[in-house]
Homo-oligomer: A and B are copies of this chain.
Amino acid sequence: MEGLIHIYCGDGKGKTTAAVGLAVRAAGAGKRVIFTQFFKDGSSSEIKMLETLPGVELVLCRVQHGFYKFMDEAGRAAARRDFSNLLDAALTRAAEGADLLVLDEAISACNCGVIDEETLAAFLAEKPAGLEVVLTGRNPSERLLARADYITEMKKIRHPYDQGITARLGVEY
């Protein structure tokens, strides 16, 4: 089966959530899944479940870097180093043999410059034929969009954040 490329973008709830769901579905079909998250330290509730699933390998940065806009220059340099290493590790593991590679928040990581979009785009252009890849994050570049077979915009029509309700355990993280 040819591996296709998915982008989940937009400002609505459901980008990471759908990437988690796809990892679960693929694992349920006996596929080998590599699941990677940028800007997250692996403490989200979904990680606790994904790590119990046969066929799912987590490639994570366990350091909490927080939001890019709140990092100082040293923090940004550390994030660039850690997330660039994380991308390298994930691409290496995927090239060694996997059916699905999830790169959650990779689009945001490219936009902030903490990973090199050129490296990611080059991988997508020459990836193993059978590898399915999922990228999430707001505002994908034209270069990434051009590579995608699936593009879904998660469009926010209503979100409780707009009523001052902040992220809740088990729902947003």
Contacts and interface: CB of A to CB of B under 8 A. Distances in A.
Given A28-B48, A150-B158, 6 more contacts: A1-B168, A12-B152, A13-B150, A20-B25, A25-B44, A152-B154
A10 B12 CA distance: 12
Contacts of A29: 45, 48, 169-170
Interface of A: 1, 4, 6, 8, 10, 12-14, 16-22, 24-31, 44-50, 52-53, 99-100, 132, 148-160, 163, 165, 168-171, 173
Contacts of A20: 20-21, 24-25
A171 B18 contact: no
Nearest to A173: B25
Contact of A170 (B8, B25, B46, B168): B25
Contacts of A151: 156-159
A60 to B, nearest CB: 14
A50 B31 contact: no
Contacts of A47: 28
A132 B26 CA distance: 26
A49 B28 CA distance: 5
Nearest to A100: B170
Contact of A25 (B8, B17, B31, B99): B17
A18 B26 contact: no
